[in-house]
Structure 1
Amino acid sequence: MRFSTMKRALAGTVAAGVTLALAACSGGGSPNSTTAAPSFDANKQYNVSVWAWEPTIQQDSNVVKAFEKQYPNIKVAVTNSGGPSDEYTSLSNALQAGTGLPDVGQIEYYALPQYAIGSNLADLTRFGAGDLQGKYTTGTWNSVNQTTAKGVKGVYALPVDSGPMALFYNEATFKKAGISAPPTTWDEFYQDAVKIHALGSNYYITTDSGSDAGFLTSLMWQMSPGAFKTDGQNVSVNFSDPGFAKFVETWQKLIDNHLISTSVASWSDEWFRGLGDGSIASLPIGAWMPANLLAHAPAAKGNFRVAPMPSLDGKPVNSENGGSSLAIMSKSSPDTQVAAYKFLDFVSNGEGAKLRVQAGNFPSLQATLDDPSFQSSTGDYSAPDLLGYFGGQQYNQVLAQSAKAVNSGWSYLPFQVSANSKFADTVGKAYNGSGTPLSKGLSDWADAIVALGNGQGYKVTKVG
């Protein structure tokens, strides 16, 4: 169910028109968190417009139908935005024009700061969102807590799913290569890559074409959660953490020795064929991946397993990769915001959250992750096709533990969407045979981030 979402997001497709400068994006005129929210009137008719790309939040979805059944006086009109980058382009255009915005927008966690910083999103604390902290995983809750350029801290969205990373691997290929257990460290990952490539020139432990900023920033999150720091308009970029530098050295060896495929693009037909026939033997990616494997790499049924992400020392430490939230636009009228929050609450932690998990989305709610029926994929979360795909492994149990191991302290740049657009032209050069070392590509990306942020009114410093 996540394919249409993540195909665009993780391929690094970023709209050129999304740059939101500090001064240009103020929502203006929106009630703040100290203003009492209007009362919800069950006898009044409300209309809420929503932009979203995820299949379970579309007009004909069970989620929208169940919501309108519970709230018959709220009519929801969902526009399929096509994908994250498409939506961000449309939001940027509407913000610049000052008209045409939806009441509710689906926004990925990495993109959320770029909209919150300019006061484009309503602070949800006045609706009681601040009391929900204990319901969500640490990573997702931290992602929706943001600060505007004016220093106003608040809850600017509600989580609707999450993406703790895990290693999805083809057990049959691993055994064929003489590997009895998945790697627990990045050094072991390298050693396994050597064994897998020895099976044939078309066998690789994984792929990385250097176009996906989301993947590498997730690895930063795991090993160097302080890579990006924001304090008001002051931003620092630090890629010099010794642990992350060690990972970069290992990944450089994988590239230099042709042990990972740098030519197969993620989400392409060739990529799924490789995952299906086992020639692409593993995939470090977000926990939303199982339904995509079932749908697009069916030939690997029974062979795939899930393991915790490798780490530098084998100890459980993790990060997020993907995931999204629902936010209310600050320009939406106060009355409409009241009804819109009912929708957010329903989708995020009400009946809609369960319906979305049943459809294949990975939860952001801690109670769901702790639920034995979710971890065993039985009862309310029965998924027999996926259980068979993973050879009967209780894969959600591994993924739930992966969510608990997410490293704290991470924050995205307040202009991450724009920064990611510079990734392929800097870091990507380390993958195209130009001879650019990965460390040099990262340094160049940091320089580009500094120039980009300073051009938008921030004070950006490169550390190290």
Structure 2
Amino acid sequence: MKKKALLAAVAAAALVAALAACSSSGGGGTSTSSKATNCTNKIVVKSAPVVTVWAWYPNMAKVVDNFNNGHKDVQVCWTNVGQGGDEYNKVQTAISAGKGLPDVVMLEADHLTAYEIQGALVDISKYGADSVKSNFSAGAWKDVSQGSSVYAAPVDGGPMALIYRTDVFKKYGITTPPTTWAEYAADAAKVKAAGGPAFGDLGANVPAVQMALQIQKGATPFQYDLSDPKKLTIKLNDQASKDVLDYWAGLVKAKEIGTQDQFTTDYISGVVNGKYATYVSAAWAPGYLTGAGVGKGASSGVWAVAPLPQWDTANPVSVNWGGSAFAVTSQATNKANAAKVALGLYADPASLADGWKNQIIFPLNQGVLTSQEFIDNKSEFFSGQTANKDVYIPAENAYKGFTYSPITVYYYAQLQAETAKINAGKITGSQAADELQANIVKYAQGQGFTVTQ
């Protein structure tokens, strides 16, 4: 599940020491974690070794109980230290202090590289990760891997799609959802000309969406390989990136879409009251929207979902927003036991079923994605539409994975700032891309990276 998060960027002075730490992650240690205090949950088998976990999924209490009740060899001591920035700030503080991390931590896929380079995460391919590789799509596995090394066990993802209001489409004569971004722009102009609502929204606070759509157009923002940790390729102002930013800037200038920050009370109020005809989002969105009060009252029975519009229908590209995984930290007391938890927590059928049936997660496990119950599920939020079969499963299976950089968080912050300028009419998309490139290159060089462009 995607949450807004900011954490301290990697310090250049710590780079060499952090990389050295990556090679010291042995499997030793005592069998019971000395950090297993203040557990939120009940330890079922008192004699078993305990693994500490930080995680924020809404149904973690049930998931942890499922795990503990099903294991006599190891138990989980779970704590929710917050989500997004709250958790990441605690993670970074503990990394810098060299103590304070749990054995296993829940992280979003786009944050993994920033911790890998600091030597804070363990390569769990040494502890059986490859045995579950076939449970996931190639893209899901790439997001948690560096070459043959695996730094987390995937759990949920965010294949992107176009959520739309059927009542608005019907009122303004849009008979089918747009299949291309050109059609999306044409529909936006049509609704605007007829005095209708904003066709969508360009929230500055969702930079991951902008990055995903640029990648969909053919951009490769970053190239990075942990085996050569000081080298970073940055291409943020290539033609594909400029085209995408100019596209959205054009819709903003024409006042055909909104510019409200998402995940806010005002934005949700607008969604409920029909202020936006579409929502470019991910497979976890129905759960988030339902939890925020969307789909009730006047906004019930009006939602549908379609595949994400493409820049080039001859070369369709599936992209992702969000998704989380369980990583073993280098501070884990017993790394083999921690890996057993990371690979097994939220991997049992009962937990996965609870997750998707209550719209808490979109699971990445192929055992779920290929199950007839999941495939044929009629979404309550989408008025009985078989959204998994029609949209989300094909999108997930077609996803090829992203390459994230060690400075993703700083990049997101700067992309957010540039998008705010676009929304304020101060800058074009192309100008924003050029400014972003110059800023990120300068920052990366200041952090000790050798940058190629």
**TM-score, length of structure 2 as denominator length:** 0.88
| Structure 1 counterpart of 2:313 | 314
Q: 1:191 is matched with which residue? A: 186
Number of equivalent positions: 429
CA gap of 1:29–1:414, structure 2 versus 1, over 3 A, is closer
Distance 1:128 1:93 in 2: 29
CA shift in 2, pair 1:112/1:305, >3 Å:
same
Partner of 1:349: 347
The answer for the alignment partner of 1:215 in structure 2 is 209
Q: Check if 1:429 corresponds to 2:429.
A: no
- Residue 388 of structure 2 is aligned to residue 390 of structure 1: no
Deviation at 1:69?
Answer: 0.4
Provide the aligned C-alpha RMSD in A: 2.5
Identity of aligned residues (%): 29
**Worse-matched range after superposition: 192-201 or 106-115:** 192-201
Which residue is 2:57 aligned to? 54
Map 1:381-460 onto structure 2 (within 5 A): 387-397=379-389, 398-406=391-399, 408=400, 410-434=402-426, 436-460=427-451
**Residue 23 of structure 1 corresponds to which residue in structure 2?**
16
* Counterparts of 1:112 and 1:260, CA distance in 2: 33
User: How far off its partner does 1:429 sit?
Assistant: 1.2
Equivalent residue for 1:384? none
Q: Deviations over 1:271-298 (max 9, x none)?
A: 1122222221111111111112223212
Q: CA offsets, 1:5-36, max 9 Å, x none? A: x3x42xxx423x3434423535738655xx67
- Shift in alpha-carbon separation, 1:437–1:342, aligned structure 2, 3 A: same
Query: Of 2, 11, 14, which residue of structure 1 is paired with 2:6?
Result: 14
Q: Indicate yes or no: 2:232 matched with 1:235.
A: yes
- The one-letter amino acid of 2:56's match is W
Q: Write the deviation string for residues 120-144 of structure 1: whole angstroms up to 9, x where unpaired.
A: 1011011111232221122211011
- Tell me how far 1:108 sits from its aligned partner: 0.6
Deviates more, 1:162-171 or 1:204-213: 204-213
Q: Is the 8 A contact 1:225 1:410 kept in 2?
A: no
- What are the Cα deviations for residues 304-330 of structure 1, in whole angstroms up to 9, with x where unaligned? 111000011235321010011110101
Give secondary structure in 1 for the equivalent of 2:18.
coil
The residue type paired with residue 396 of structure 1 is N
Q: Which SS does the other structure have where 1:321 is aligned? A: strand
Q: Aligned-pair distance for 1:46?
A: 1.3
**Structure 1 residue 347, shift from structure 2 partner:** 2.5
1:40 positional shift? 8.6
TM-score normalised to structure 1 length: 0.86
Q: Which residue of structure 2 lines up, in the alignment, with residue 122 of structure 1?
A: 122
Aligned to 1:177: 172
The one-letter code sitting in structure 2 at the alignment partner of 1:157 is A
Query: Residue deviations 1:337-377, cap 9 Å, x none?
Result: 22222222222533333332233210111232222210222
Using the TM superposition, give the Cα deviation of residue 404 of structure 1 relative to its aligned residue in structure 2, in angstroms. 2.2
CA distance in 1, matches of 2:20, 2:270: 46
- Tell me the CA shift for residue 53 of structure 1: 1.9
1:110 CA displacement: 0.7
Moved more, 416-425 or 39-48: 39-48
From 147, 152, 156, give the equivalent of 1:157.
152
Amino acid in structure 2 at the alignment position of 1:428: A
Q: State the shift of 1:86 in Å.
A: 1.4
Q: Which runs of 5+ in 2 are unaligned?
A: 33-44
* 8 Å contact from structure 2 (residues 188, 198) kept in 1: yes
In 1, Cα distance between equivalents of 2:287 and 2:111: 24
Contact 1:230–1:413 (Cα < 8 Å) also in 2: yes
Residue 71 of structure 1 pairs with residue 71 of structure 2 = yes
Distance 1:349 1:67 in 2: 9
Rounded to whole Å, the distance in 1 between the matches of 2:396 and 2:286 is 15
Q: Which residue number in structure 1 is paired with residue 253 of structure 2?
A: 256
Tell which deviates more after alignment, 101-110 or 349-358: 349-358
Structure 2: distance between partners of 1:24 and 1:443: 33
The alpha-carbon deviation at position 449 of structure 1 amounts to 1.3
